[in-house]
Amino acid sequence: MPQRSVVEAPNPLREGIRIKNSPEPCVMVIFGATGDLTHRKLLPALYNLALEHPLPAGFSVVAFARRPYSTEEYRQQALESINQYSRQKPVNPQVWENFAAGIHYLQADFNDPKGYEKLNNLLNLLDQERGTGGNRIFYLSTPPSQYPEIIQRLGAAGLNRSRKGWTRIIVEKPFGHDLGSAKELNRQVGKVFKEDQVYRIDHYLGKETVQNILVFRLANGIFEPVWNRRYIDHVQITVAENIGLEGRSGYFEEAGAIRDMVQNHVMQLLSLVAMEPPITFDANSVRDEKVKVLHALQPLVGQDVVTNIIRAQYGPGWLSTGQQVIGYRQEPGVSPHSTTETYLALKVFIDSWRWAGVPFYLRTGKHLPKRVTEIAIQFKQAPLMLFKRSEAYGQVEPNVLTLRIQPDEGISLKFGAKVPGTEMQIRSVNMDFFYGSSGFREQPEAYERLLLDCMLGDSTLFTRRDEVEAAWTFIQGILDSWKNEPPETIQTYESGSWGPQAADEFIWRDGRRWRRP
């Protein structure tokens, strides 16, 4: 029978239906299936998809890892993880039974060709037994150092394409640790897979409110006319965490905040908020515009790195949870002389007609007072202050439009209003929109959305090769400059505070101040 993609030939019964498409039956092969990401995110996301119907009958998982487990043992572990981490608890026994029947464990070393031979045989068997039709997704959930080996072995075993059906590969972040390694990884991937088979996942893009940035900007006629240098004074993007290393000292020592947060999440938010409207809402049109923003970033090199970047490490202190914590250099697995930053504040400019001269202040950090991600657009003051002679003088604050990504997803607009009374007193008030998901309606986790999109062949919310490289090109300039800086340039901030004093001074110099999210 002819093999047609569901995406290419929509099911006519779906017309007018309010529910999400269902993918074709497929197998997801998870490399690194015993790892934290698989147990905390991937298995619960797949189970939730099975529970809420989008997964087709026959959907299967092959857990590929080195540890010596049987399929039964692995299923038991998967059940425990789902019970612990799924947003839908407790596990529904009937649905689990059905889902578990499709999980198979394959023990092999990532560098062992025989493992891939066994994988090939198992996939063919599943095609026959479960009707998966040659459709495969390979999910790289291993440490990044393993990626090249796995990709090369998949190619050598001929698993990069199937005789019938489709083959896709999901690559978890980080996509390289610098520009050179990112290009090399892309080259390795490109040798084995075509770009349209590659899905680079950054779970931030699966969040409802991140997607809402585009809807907010492009579905509302009133914002686009003021979304430019003429009306916007500056933009602040904050990605704050109140946690520390959480046992990932080895990774973080190598990565630092710049690789862990800025190169991926912060750059994604920046490009979504600053991009031009795409000509259509298909995957490549959206990504074309995002890439243009990254290309237009004014490089930070030389003296700019000193003046436009503050980097710091957390010291001891008390968190907002009441927990007393040690400093970064005292953390297990961290060098007492480490210069890895846990906090980073940057001022960047986008050289485009829309944004020329508008500073974008970006900051991220660990052990900050709260977990929050938001984009704040601060508008310029009204051109003429009519209330100079009244009591209102000095009370009029600029309008701020805040897009809150997490928690309390929503949008706020701050504007001035007269306080009722005979005096001309002005007070800033917030008009809040709390996203529908807040509190009452459970929304799918980011991974659920992204895994489903990959199964459906929709790559809009995944990162393209040139996008990754453009982000790294900008970051690489900073990394190169840091190499020449003495270690003393890294500041310290008290855990539980909003970062070092130098970060405040850094923005005060521009006559602005950080928001308190």
163 binds other proteins (CB under 8 A): no
Piece of 68-76, 328-336, 427-435, 498-506 that binds other proteins (CB under 8 A) = 427-435
92 binds other proteins (CB under 8 A): yes
| Cis bond upstream, residue 90 (ω within 30) | yes
> The tokens 């990565």 sit on which residue?
255
457 binds other proteins (CB under 8 A): no
**CB closer to other proteins, 263 vs 399:** 399
Indicate which single residue of 35, 71, 87, 98 sits in contact with other proteins (rule: CB under 8 A): 98
Indicate which single residue of 80, 97, 246, 391 sits in contact with other proteins (rule: CB under 8 A): 97
32 binds other proteins (CB under 8 A): no
Piece of 12-20, 230-238, 477-485, 489-497 that binds other proteins (CB under 8 A) = 12-20
395 binds other proteins (CB under 8 A): no
82, 44 contact by CB (below 8 A):
yes
Least distance (Å) from other proteins to the CB of residue 133?
7
Q: Which of 46, 128, 38 is nearest to 77 (CA)?
A: 38
Indicate which single residue of 84, 321, 324, 430 sits in contact with other proteins (rule: CB under 8 A): 430
Indicate which single residue of 35, 131, 155, 317 sits in contact with other proteins (rule: CB under 8 A): 131
208 binds other proteins (CB under 8 A): no
Piece of 48-56, 205-213, 241-249, 288-296 that binds other proteins (CB under 8 A) = 48-56
122 binds other proteins (CB under 8 A): no
> The tokens 């521009």 sit on which residue?
510
Least distance (Å) from other proteins to the CB of residue 402?
12
444 binds other proteins (CB under 8 A): no
222 binds other proteins (CB under 8 A): no
Least distance (Å) from other proteins to the CB of residue 167?
16
406 binds other proteins (CB under 8 A): no
Phi, psi of 479 (to 5 degrees): -60, -40
Q: How far is CA 176 from the centre of its chain?
A: 15
15 binds other proteins (CB under 8 A): yes
Beta bridge partners of 106: 64
368 binds other proteins (CB under 8 A): no
265 is catalytic: yes
Q: Which of 496, 474, 266 is nearest to 368 (CA)?
A: 496
Distance between CA atoms of residues 86 and 43, nearest Å: 8
Q: Token pair for residue 131?
A: 């009707």
What is the number of other CB atoms lying within 10 angstroms of the CB of residue 249?
Answer: 18
Indicate which single residue of 125, 156, 356, 429 sits in contact with other proteins (rule: CB under 8 A): 429
Distance between CA atoms of residues 396 and 270, nearest Å: 28
94 binds other proteins (CB under 8 A): yes
Residues whose CB falls within 8 Å of the CB of residue 73, separated by 6 or more in sequence, listed in order: 105
User: Would you give the DSSP letter of residue 296?
Assistant: T
215 binds other proteins (CB under 8 A): no
Least distance (Å) from other proteins to the CB of residue 401?
15
User: How many residues bind other proteins, per CB under 8 A?
Assistant: 53
Piece of 53-61, 183-191, 307-315, 457-465 that binds other proteins (CB under 8 A) = 53-61
4 binds other proteins (CB under 8 A): yes
363, 499 contact by CB (below 8 A):
yes
Q: Token pair for residue 488?
A: 């003393």
Q: Which of 365, 349, 241, 271 is nearest to 310 (CA)?
A: 365
**CB closer to other proteins, 75 vs 311:** 75
Catalytic residue among 104, 265, 295, 337: 265
13 binds other proteins (CB under 8 A): yes
> The tokens 């990626």 sit on which residue?
147
**CB closer to other proteins, 11 vs 70:** 11
> The tokens 């029978």 sit on which residue?
1
Residue 475 three-state SS? helix
What is the number of other CB atoms lying within 10 angstroms of the CB of residue 454?
Answer: 22
3 binds other proteins (CB under 8 A): yes
432 binds other proteins (CB under 8 A): yes
What DSSP assignment string belongs to 192-246?
HS-GGGEEEE-GGGGSHHHHHHHHHHHS-TTTGGGSSTTTEEEEEEEEE-S---T
What DSSP assignment string belongs to 309-332?
EEEEEEEEEE-TTS-EE--GGGST
Indicate which single residue of 383, 441, 486, 511 sits in contact with other proteins (rule: CB under 8 A): 441
237, 362 contact by CB (below 8 A):
yes
Q: Token pair for residue 512?
A: 């602005």
Q: Name the residues annotated as catalytic.
A: 265
- Which residues of this chain interact with other proteins, rule CB under 8 A? 1-6, 9-19, 21-25, 51-53, 56-58, 92, 94-95, 97-98, 130-131, 133, 407-408, 412, 417, 429-434, 436-441, 516
